[in-house]
A and B are shown apart, each in its own frame.
Chain A
Amino acid sequence: MPERRDFLVNAIKGLGLAATGGLAWSGFIEEGKSAPLILRPPGALPEKEFIASCIKCGMCVEACPYDALALAEPGDDKPIGTPFFTPRTNPCYMCKDIPCVPACPTGSLDESLVSDKDENGELKLNINLAKMGLAVIDRETCIAYSGIQCDACYRSCPRIDEAITIDYTRNKRTGKHALRAPVVHSEACTGCGLCEKACVTQKSSIFVLPREIAMGKSSERYIKGWDERDGERIKDVTEEVTTQTPRSGKSAIDYLNNEDF
């Protein structure tokens, strides 16, 4: 039965080649996907959904009046064809009408992520809701933290006194001067990067990182009792809750008092 044999051989050959090609292909994609240090335009979906839906058309790039956005190309070490910005040279200027977002045909830049209701209950774009990244300060190179008077980042911040505030403390080194240290607040910072551009140090001492990288996450069970909003989470708890673990049935080890030391 030569036909059946030919068919089988050809099918196996085809599958083998497809597997080889497919593996090389996936390897290349995985390599590019794993570059997490990328700052997306305002209103971008979470990175995983973003790279699945972005069609790489560049209409957000065209819509940006400041030419802040660019499409990643091979060699940029970022997901190929997707938009990003580089704050040190071209930060996001936080346009009120956010032209890059409605330009997106695929919804990868999602208007609902940067809109809230105005007084008439209508959805309106609000750039202050953008979460492009989070500014992080290197206190060792920031000159304000060494006692030099600099508030370049604070002055450049479009959400001055909300996203960046100045912490006034005593300069312990000189004993007679003030330390005016900038502090970033994650709930207000949009990650626009105007501070990174404004920073006067040779390499910026305040820089925007993707929020997943810049931020930690504490467990649900820690409740800030002094914070009214956080305290609400245990408002309805009436009985005492104790956590059962494999150890919790045993008595505490008290070696300091009971054992020979």
Chain B
Amino acid sequence: MRKYKYQIPRRLLQISILFIFFGGNAYGWNVLRGNLSSAKVLDAIPLSDPFAVLQSYSAGASIATDALVGALIILLFYAVLGGRVFCGWVCPVNMVTDLACKIRTSFNLDTIWKSWDIQRGVRFWVIGLSVVLSAILGVAAFEWISPIGALHRGIIYGFGFGWAFVLIVFLFDLFAVKNGFCGHLCPLGGFYSIVGRFGFLRIGYDKAKCTSCMKCIEICPEEQVLSIVNQHSGAVLSGECINCGRCIEVCDDNAVKFSSIYLNKYSNNK
């Protein structure tokens, strides 16, 4: 069970958020209505996807108060919490890409083929493109093609051909690039990695306990963030960490645990 200490609550959260949204539309539950683009809690507190609002703004729309307040709430929440908690704990595409990654590793696809590789920094180019294209085309450009939107809208309001967008991501991750979408391309993930750079929730690493088995690096969907492993004790500083806790689950030595960037225990001294 310890191996799924965080994975079970993560899946529960991801699924239950979708389920509450679904119930809001299908049965009129008034807890959380809308979807991951914009929502209302208890018919009072607005929430909005700050990246979508940014694109709308770039597209030339005047932003209404509800959308702006909602975007600020979400922005502040993830900025304080830190890391890409949205990606690891809320976003439904995480379940799709994790599944692709699991199949990929259990069939050893990585050793059979020399896989394609693209740089992790591509997502920041995609952020730039999203904003520029929004300005040129007059619509929120990433929202238009987003498999995240297609998936949660599909589940809450019914799929059209939206499932095809999700299937593309699944196949891309399975056959082309390992952790290809979430770890390389998704501009929303890139956006949250910037937002969450200085938040408090971090993976802390204790070199004294570490036996250098490298299981954490193997399991990590963003292995570049674990550069401190085998080097020195400290906290994972990169905002690209999705705080999924897989590294904690696989570590047999108790060398990795959730910590805070601001706690002295794992301060980044050599």
A25, A29, A56, A75: most-surrounded residue (chain B CB, <10 A): A56
A14 to chain B, nearest CB (A): 6
Contacts of A61 in B (CB 8 A): 25, 157
The CA-CA distance from A49 to B138 in the complex, in Å, is: 8
Q: How many residues of A are in contact with the other chain, CB < 8 A?
A: 39
The residue of chain B having its C-beta at the shortest distance from the C-beta of A56 within the complex is B37
The CA-CA distance from A80 to B53 in the complex, in Å, is: 16
Contact A105 B153 (CB under 8 A): no
The CA-CA distance from A52 to B52 in the complex, in Å, is: 11
Q: Which of A66-74, A92-100, A143-151, A234-242 contacts B (4 or more CB under 8 A)?
A: A66-74
B48, B53, B61, B66: most-surrounded residue (chain A CB, <10 A): B61
The CA-CA distance from A31 to B70 in the complex, in Å, is: 31
Contact A73 B40 (CB under 8 A): no
Contact B153 A81 (CB under 8 A): yes
**B:36-83 near A, CB below 8 Å:** 37-40, 46, 48-49, 52-53, 56, 59-64, 66-67, 70
A30 beta carbon closer than 8 Å to chain B = yes
Contact A81 B149 (CB under 8 A): yes
Contact B64 A106 (CB under 8 A): yes
A17, A18, A29: most-surrounded residue (chain B CB, <10 A): A29
- Please pick, from B24, B46, B138, B153, the residue contacting A73 in the complex, using a CB distance under 8 A: B153
- Please pick, from A14, A22, A75, A79, the residue contacting B139 in the complex, using a CB distance under 8 A: A79
- Please pick, from A14, A48, A76, the residue contacting B125 in the complex, using a CB distance under 8 A: A14
- Please pick, from A14, A32, A53, A57, the residue contacting B144 in the complex, using a CB distance under 8 A: A32
B8 beta carbon closer than 8 Å to chain A = no
The CA-CA distance from A106 to B38 in the complex, in Å, is: 9
Contacts of B34 in A (CB 8 A): 57-59, 62, 105
Contact A62 B137 (CB under 8 A): no
B159 beta carbon closer than 8 Å to chain A = yes
The residue of chain B having its C-beta at the shortest distance from the C-beta of A33 within the complex is B139
Contact B141 A25 (CB under 8 A): yes
Contact A26 B133 (CB under 8 A): yes
The residue of chain B having its C-beta at the shortest distance from the C-beta of A67 within the complex is B25
B259 to chain A, nearest CB (A): 35
Contacts of A17 in B (CB 8 A): 125
The DSSP consensus for interface residues of chain B is helix
- Please pick, from A29, A72, A75, A76, the residue contacting B137 in the complex, using a CB distance under 8 A: A29
- Please pick, from B66, B125, B128, B133, the residue contacting A106 in the complex, using a CB distance under 8 A: B66
Contacts of B144 in A (CB 8 A): 28-29, 32, 79-81
Contact B160 A74 (CB under 8 A): yes
The CA-CA distance from A136 to B33 in the complex, in Å, is: 36
Contact flags (1/0) for B5-46 with A, using CB distance below 8 Å?
000000000000000000011001000011101111000001
- Please pick, from B40, B129, B138, the residue contacting A48 in the complex, using a CB distance under 8 A: B138
User: B residues near A, CB below 8 A?
Assistant: 24-25, 28, 33-35, 37-40, 46, 48-49, 52-53, 56, 59-64, 66-67, 70, 125-126, 128-129, 132-133, 136-141, 143-145, 149-150, 153-154, 156-162, 164-165
> Given known contacts A61-B25, A80-B150, A105-B64, what 8 new A-B pairs fall within 8 Å (CB)?
A22-B132, A28-B144, A29-B133, A49-B61, A52-B56, A52-B139, A55-B67, A106-B63
* Shortest beta-carbon contacts, A-B, top 7: A73-B160, A75-B161, A53-B61, A107-B64, A57-B38, A105-B66, A74-B161
